[in-house]
Amino acid sequence: MKIDKKTRMTRQRRVILEEIRRYNNHPAADEIYERVRKRLPRISLGTVYRNLDVLCELGEIQRLELSGAMKRYDGNAKKHYHIRCIGCGRVDDAPIAPMNELEDDLYGTTVFEIIGHNLEFTGLCPECSRKHEQQQAAS
């Protein structure tokens, strides 16, 4: 999809963007749709998907394609990493700075044009960790 930087910020796009940024829980498209419908009852799921694509292309949000999980969206469009719970799928921001030097190290050592990288941490969120410990203690 080719988006012109002059693309208007329509009311629908603005509401979608506001709902993504309201919470820092990296929602999936269907969660965004449910939130937006409370404010714009006549909006369709297809419209939400199209506008999510536009907002990604405009650099307003990020599309997260994490392993083992559905696509999620992040209202913070700056480069950063994420932690995904392998128990429940919860996604949080990882509190470390992007490692841009990795890309710099690859520059000139490969025939690829390096345009970015993805780094995903996995683990158990506090709730899933407690459940796991309880299951271990019970067995």
Q: Enter the DSSP assignment of 106.
A: H
Is 56 assigned a ligand-binding role in the annotation?
no
Q: Rounded CA gap, 30 and 70, in Å?
A: 10
26 annotated to a ligand binding site:
no
Phi, psi values for residue 121, rounded to 5°? -95, 145
User: What tokens appear for 93 in the block?
Assistant: 């921001």
Interatomic CA distance for residues 66 and 31, integer angstroms: 17
Contacts 24+ apart (CB under 8 A), 42-51: 43/12, 47/12, 48/16, 51/10, 51/12, 51/13, 51/16
Q: How far apart are CA 26 and CA 20, in angstroms?
A: 8
Is 85 annotated as a binding-site member? yes
Known binding-site residue numbers for Fe cation: 117
Known binding-site residue numbers for Zn(2+): 85, 88, 125, 128
Known binding-site residue numbers: 85, 88, 117, 125, 128
